[in-house]
Amino acid sequence: MKPILQIKNLSKSYGNLTAVKGVDLDIPEGICFGLLGPNGAGKTTSIEMMEGILSPDGGEIRFRGKPIDRNFKKKVGIQFQSTALPEFITVRETLELFSAFYPDPRPMEELIELCSLQDILDQDNRKLSGGQRQRMLLALAIIPRPELVFLDEPTTGLDPQSRRNFWDLIQKIKKENTTVLLTTHYMEEAQMLCDRIAIMDHGKILECDTPDSLLDKHFQGVLIRLPAKGGALPPGAELQGDWIHMQTTDLDSSLKKLLAEGHDLTGMGIHKPNLDDLFIKLTGSTLRE
């Protein structure tokens, strides 16, 4: 499919810190695209350049094949990682205010329904809980019926139930043929929602593909995890913190070999590789803080 957003060689420095170093990305239309990476990887910096909020030091951003123009902001929805809301006005009034900014805003009832805002409509913006606030910010992002919506860590701070509701909501938005670009620290979420993911670290894209292709590319078979107790590493295994990690396509013989070598298998875990494992493999760090 033709990309809705094309990014070429994007870069940005703060003083002598290069936050984004030559990022190339194609975001196909109608999909949910996940940008993953550890803290400080450059996700927010990249996404804010794509949103037209930060000006890049170098590189090119094209929306539907053309450079970003004045109408871009009417067609995209944006949720920042952290943002303030106007003070002394209620949720309803804030929604009304932002609705006035767009040519064809989504009706209020639909917004309230989609983002479950019924109970907080008359609450002052400043008195919202973390999760209520996230829902409200998401509502603001989808007011314009965006063709493309940018969500920077939309589920950070949500309880498991709210996170699930959010996932449903994203599925609904996708059905309207809205392209979703989100960053997240939750691999489960990326696996659940994203059709494509890019893994970023130190300002560079390390990998970009569908979650399944990435897993196929980097892992074969299953993963064995053992508590490290000193002594020699089994052949083909890696030490990651207090754990020994091993990949195998033949679980039977691997286990037999470990036993034969006299390893204590207490506390062992075996699982199919997931994005968490991929993430750790690529960035050498865990996503969740």
Ligand X SMILES: Nc1ncnc2c1ncn2[C@@H]1O[C@H](COP(=O)(O)OP(=O)(O)OP(=O)(O)O)[C@@H](O)[C@H]1O
C-beta closer to another protein: residue 157 or 269 = 157
CA distances from 103 to 21, 78, 109, 140, 175 (A): 36, 16, 17, 14, 22
Min dist. Cβ of residue 5 to ligand X (A): 18
Helix (H) / strand (E) element for 279: namely helix 275-283
x/- map, 98-137, another protein, by CB under 8 A: x-xxx-----------------------------------
Give every CB contact of residue 214 below 8 A, 6+ residues apart in sequence: 197, 199, 207, 275, 278
Residues 130-159 that bind another protein (CB under 8 A): 140
227 binds another protein (CB under 8 A): no
237 binds ligand X (CB under 6 A): no
Residues that bind another protein (rule: CB under 8 A) add up to a total of 23
- Distance between CA 96 and CA 112 in Å, rounded? 12
Residues 19-38 that bind ligand X (CB under 6 A): 19, 37
Which string of DSSP letters, residue by residue, matches 143-172?
A: TT--SEEEEESTTTT--HHHHHHHHHHHHH
Partner whose binding site includes residue 259, from another protein, Mg ion, ligand X, none (CB under 5 to 8 Å by kind): none
85 binds another protein (CB under 8 A): yes
- 3-state SS, residue 95: helix
- Distance between CA 38 and CA 288 in Å, rounded? 8
Instruction: Identify the residue among 2, 16, 84, 252 touching another protein (CB under 8 A).
Output: 84
C-beta closer to ligand X: residue 39 or 177 = 39
Helices assigned H by DSSP within 116-229: 130-142, 160-175, 187-193, 211-218
Sign for the pseudo-dihedral over CA of 223, 40, 135, 129: positive
Instruction: Identify the residue among 73, 92, 145, 218 touching another protein (CB under 8 A).
Output: 73
Instruction: Identify the residue among 14, 58, 65, 96 touching another protein (CB under 8 A).
Output: 96
Partner whose binding site includes residue 155, from Mg ion, another protein, ligand X, none (CB under 5 to 8 Å by kind): none
Min dist. Cβ of residue 59 to ligand X (A): 15
Q: Is 218 exposed, middle or buried (0-12, 13-18, 19+ CB in 10 A)?
A: middle
Residues 23-62 that bind another protein (CB under 8 A): 51, 53
69 binds another protein (CB under 8 A): no
Nearest to 167, CA basis, from 138, 208, 130, 200: 138
Residues 82-101 that bind ligand X (CB under 6 A): none
Question: What does the binding site for another protein look like in residue numbers (CB under 8 A)?
Answer: 51, 53, 73-74, 78, 80, 82-89, 93-94, 96-98, 100-102, 140
Question: What does the binding site for ligand X look like in residue numbers (CB under 6 A)?
Answer: 14, 17, 19, 37, 39-45, 81
